[in-house]
């Protein structure tokens, strides 16, 4: 199947999709139903509006954040940690950010993985088992991973290739949920079974993502359908590149940079939206596939995993509207227009700059920027890298000055991740799925932590601020 063009399933899949297109009418094609819906939509606008002052009156931490934007504690974890302040003489002093996986500083972890090809796999072992592997047990771990990294022709044909989707995160969700039916023991939530399911999903998700992209190209863009199998002995990063590229070729630096990107996205302190989703859904006792699908849905959002796409859209706009990429005055003028909501998307945001937690620096951004520079040198794209660097410096200065932020403003990991993926030839459709491929290691570690330590369902409280009213029979309603 590797490197071959699939013909057998093509006609059937195309026929199924054509039938679906013919059977499903849009609302605009439904005549008077459209006018009825417009009426209902208008009625909706009259409700569900909560007075924002009530959040202050009842001291409700909206978005589970306090007045300073800090997350409200909702649980305990040993999986990962974030440090953004140092405690000096009893005072919190902003510091360069630090990220820890199972107590190990990610900077030290990546430094220790220098010259090693399976950095993401070693990081996954660390997150799942709480410690770095010994050489012999790491070989055992890789052996299990290689054995599980198969989807089977029937699953690829009947699930991945059907109902191709332009947004691959939806394709990931659908495929992950369907894997439930291929599992002989899907609802068993014992630690042993969840570990088995987690390792299967960690190894299968890269295949699902790349195959879904090829399916999208074939059925939505009318390109040839070529599926390459993963090769045993290759790392996750190497296999993604060889499965994605027509010739299957990649350089050592390309594989290393992608490996580093996967490591940096594997987990983030336990306080992010999708990881919280993992804990919430897992606490209900549901199956692993439902838990992971829910977390993928969370990560899909542009405020979370989809943020690097907004950064790339912004830079496309910058490249199109700034004539001299080395003229800092011109760059500053245009960035100020973005902040003033006069250009780009009118949001007033410079995407990729600022973080809810980090103050002086995001360690993931610092590391990825260094590798972005190395890759840019290999690709002959130092001019573009220099432009990113200028935008970063100028944007931080503008935002700090204009918004009088004293805790510090820094670029986050999304600022350079899209640039890196672009240099690697990874299409934008796979930017957020790559995040999921990495973060599923963290989700799996958190799910195991949840089911092994707690037997209470996560059940938050909401303060009711509406009115109690009497029931009125239909004939008396006005």
Q: At what angle do helices 236-244 and 252-264 cross, to 10 degrees?
A: 120
pLDDT in tens, 357-380: 899 999 999 999 999 999 999 999
Architecture of the 307-421 domain: Orthogonal Bundle (1.10)
pLDDT at 21 over 60: no
pLDDT in tens, 294-335: 999 999 998 899 889 999 999 999 999 999 999 999 999 999
- Region 337-345: mean pLDDT is 97
pLDDT at 454 over 90: no
**Alpha helix positions (H), 229-306:** 236-244, 252-264, 273-283, 288-300
Question: How far apart are alpha carbons 275 and 360 in whole angstroms?
Answer: 24
**Higher-scoring residue by pLDDT: 131, 32:** 131
pLDDT at 474 over 90: yes
Look up the CATH superfamily of 97-303+426-453: Citrate Synthase, domain 1 (1.10.580.10)
**Active-site positions?**
355, 414
Domain ranges of the chain: 97-303+426-453, 307-421
pLDDT at 17 over 60: no
pLDDT at 195 over 90: yes
Question: How far apart are alpha carbons 335 and 354 in whole angstroms?
Answer: 15
pLDDT at 23 over 80: no
Which range is least confidently modeled, 44-53, 152-161, 391-400, 458-467?
44-53
State residue 5's pLDDT score. Answer: 45
DSSP string for 25-40: --GGGSTHHHHHHHHH
State residue 281's pLDDT score. Answer: 97
Ramachandran assignment for 90, one of left (phi > 0), alpha (psi -120 to 50 degrees), beta (any other):
left
pLDDT at 1 over 60: no
Query: How confident is residue 179, by pLDDT bands cut at 50, 70 and 90?
Result: very high
Average pLDDT score over the chain: 92
Q: What is the rounded (10 degree) CA torsion for 466, 471, 477, 478?
A: -30
State residue 190's pLDDT score. Answer: 96
- Region 460-473: mean pLDDT is 94
């Amino acid at each position: 199947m590797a490197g071959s063009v699939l013909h057998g399933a093509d006609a059937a899949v195309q026929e199924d999709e054509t039938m679906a297109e013919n059977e499903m009418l849009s609302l605009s094609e439904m005549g008077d139903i459209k006018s009825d819906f417009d009426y209902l939509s208008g009625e909706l606008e009259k409700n569900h509006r909560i007075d924002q002052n009530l959040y202050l009156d009842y001291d409700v931490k909206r978005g589970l954040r306090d007045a300073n934007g800090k997350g409200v504690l909702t649980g305990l974890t040993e999986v990962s940690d974030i440090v953004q302040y140092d405690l000096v003489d009893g005072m919190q002093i902003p510091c360069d950010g630090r990220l820890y996986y199972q107590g190990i500083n990610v900077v030290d972890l990546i430094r220790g993985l220098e010259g090693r090809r399976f950095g993401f796999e070693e990081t996954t072992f660390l997150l799942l088992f709480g410690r770095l592997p010994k050489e012999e047990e790491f070989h055992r771990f890789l052996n299990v991973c290689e054995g599980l990294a198969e989807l089977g022709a029937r699953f690829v044909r009947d699930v991945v290739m059907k109902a191709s989707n332009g947004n691959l995160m939806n394709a990931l969700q659908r495929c992950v949920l369907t894997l439930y039916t291929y599992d002989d023991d899907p609802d068993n939530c014992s630690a042993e079974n969840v570990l088995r399911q987690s390792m299967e999903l960690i190894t299968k998700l890269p295949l699902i993502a790349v195959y879904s992209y090829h399916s999208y190209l074939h059925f939505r863009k009318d390109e040839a359908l070529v599926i390459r199998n993963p090769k045993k002995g290759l790392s996750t990063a190497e296999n993604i590149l060889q499965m994605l590229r027509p010739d299957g070729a990649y350089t050592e630096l390309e594989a290393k940079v992608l490996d580093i990107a996967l490591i940096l996205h594997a987990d983030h302190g336990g306080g992010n939206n999708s990881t919280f989703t993992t804990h919430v859904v897992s606490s209900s006792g549901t199956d692993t596939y439902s838990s992971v699908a829910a977390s993928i849905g969370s990560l899909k959002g542009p405020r979370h995993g989809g943020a690097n796409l907004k950064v790339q859209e912004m830079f496309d706009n910058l490249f199109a509207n700034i004539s001299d990429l080395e003229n800092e005055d011109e760059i500053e003028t245009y960035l100020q227009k973005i902040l003033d909501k006069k250009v780009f998307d009118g949001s007033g945001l410079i995407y990729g700059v600022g973080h809810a937690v980090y103050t002086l620096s995001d360690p993931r951004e610092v590391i990825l920027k260094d590798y972005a520079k190395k890759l840019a040198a290999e690709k002959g794209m130092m001019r573009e890298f220099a432009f990113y660097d200028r935008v970063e410096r100028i944007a931080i200065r503008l935002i700090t000055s204009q918004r009088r932020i004293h805790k510090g403003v820094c670029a986050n990991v999304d600022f350079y991740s899209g640039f890196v993926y672009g240099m690697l030839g990874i299409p934008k459709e796979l930017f957020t799925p790559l995040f999921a491929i990495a973060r599923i290691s963290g989700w799996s570690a958190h799910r195991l932590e949840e089911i092994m330590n707690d037997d209470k369902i996560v059940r938050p409280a909401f303060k009711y601020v509406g009115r109690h009213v009497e029931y009125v029979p239909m004939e008396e309603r006005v």
